[in-house]
Amino acid sequence: MKILLDDISIRNALYPFTATRSVVDVRIGILTIREKWELIYPDFIVLSEMQDDNVIKEAIKIPANIIPSKKLINRILDTGNITPPPDVIAIDHPWQIFELNSDEIKSDFELITKGKVSNSLSKSNNAISPENIFIEEGAIIEHCILNASKGFIYVGKNVEVMEGSMLRGPIALCEGSVVKMGTKIYGATTIGPNCTVGGEIKNSILLGYSNKAHDGYLGDSVIGEWCNLGAGTSNSNLKNTAGAVSIWDKASDKYILAGMKCGLLMGDYTRAAINTSFNTGTVTGVCCNIFGESVPPKYIPAFSLGNEKYKLEKALTDIDKWKKLKGKSITEKEIKILTDLFNSKN
């Protein structure tokens, strides 16, 4: 029986990360939601990608923001629904990506390492609870401290962790990522594929191909793909009053409460100048170039260029230049997505 993942009805609620991708392509834990489904129950389809109405009618439809598990899928197949709710884990708001990240690193770690043997960790490192550390082929780690006593540490293929770095799990370093010298990473943090990170990071997710390569603090935050945080950039994740944090919500077009801690929620292709200071609960849209003498506003619309608006052609050219730094080029699919977004109210 096919399961249909409805990734359309929830899309605005997970802005800015779903402005440029399906809900199922959001990374939480080690894997994206799509990758979790592929490993647990690959007989699924995604609503926004379907053309055949007959297939859609025959499938069991559930929201795409639900995190799959074997227990949940068995219930869906047996009963055709997802109740009762205690076992249903869903991302209803973008800040829940970092709030749920610890549990998802644990679940994904157990899922993808089952039956596999970790590569050995060099003796130059200091490992605490090494049984909770898994290292994939090609990873390079020397003269570092890895503390997995509070959570798993997953090091993906061809990851490089430079000397002097300190990692405290749960942490996921995905394929091809680089951790620069002396970096401090606290759980629960996911560094997505081909990211470069440095400085201090805590309870944050970089979805992929993004850089926070220098000193500065990133905490309780989610950074999209192809983003860059300039040297010295930091965010606040707790108000000076210790009060509840409010963030701009696209679905309701107003500020809503996001709990006691929330840092920076940055859409894809966005870049911040050196020494940028982001306020608590800042949301940036897609393809922003953030610079200026003052603290940026708590909501920065898509295609912002300082205090002006990007011209589409320049925005696409700048993205292509940034992608070339990692050996990639902007694709026709990306151009269409960004053009449609530029021409909408985004």
Residue 261, pLDDT above cutoff 90? yes
The predicted structure's pLDDT at residue 75? 84
The predicted structure's pLDDT at residue 74? 86
Return the closest-CA partner of residue 94 out of 240, 226, 205, 225.
205
Residue 234, pLDDT above cutoff 70? yes
Residue 1, pLDDT above cutoff 90? no
Residue 83, pLDDT above cutoff 80? no
Evaluate whether 221 touches 266 at the Cβ level (below 8 Å). yes
Letter string b/e over residues 46-76, b meaning 16 or more CB atoms within 10 A of that residue's CB: bbeeeeeeeeeeebbbbbbbbbbbeebbebb
The predicted structure's pLDDT at residue 293? 85
Q: Comparing 50 with 203, which gets the higher pLDDT?
A: 203
Q: Comparing 87 with 300, which gets the higher pLDDT?
A: 300
Residue 51, pLDDT above cutoff 80? no
Indicate the average pLDDT of the chain: 94
> Assign residue 111 a region: left if phi > 0, alpha if psi is -120 to 50, beta otherwise?
alpha
Q: Using alpha carbons only, how large is the chain's radius of gyration in Å?
A: 20
The predicted structure's pLDDT at residue 82? 72
Q: Which residues contact 249 (CB under 8 A, 6 or more apart)?
A: 13, 15, 93, 255, 256
Q: Show the domains of the chain with their CATH numbers.
A: 3-79+86-92 (no CATH), 114-343 (2.160.10)
Residue 224: strand, helix, or coil: strand
How far is 156 from 87, CA to CA, in rounded Å? 29
pLDDT tens digits along 285-335: 999 999 998 899 999 999 999 999 999 999 999 999 999 999 999 999 999
Residue 93, pLDDT above cutoff 70? yes
The predicted structure's pLDDT at residue 216? 97
* SS3 of the chain: helix, strand, coil, percent, to 5: 25, 25, 50
346, two tokens: 């985004």
The mean-pLDDT minimum among 46-50, 52-56, 143-147, 230-234 falls in 52-56
In this prediction, what percent of the chain has a pLDDT beyond 90? 86
Element (H, E) at 38: helix 33-40
Evaluate whether 36 touches 23 at the Cβ level (below 8 Å). no
| Whether pTM exceeds 0.85 | yes
pLDDT tens digits along 123-182: 999 999 999 999 999 999 999 999 999 999 999 999 999 999 999 999 999 999 999 999
- For residue 62, the Cα-to-chain-centroid distance in whole angstroms is 22
Evaluate whether 260 touches 242 at the Cβ level (below 8 Å). yes
Evaluate whether 22 touches 37 at the Cβ level (below 8 Å). no
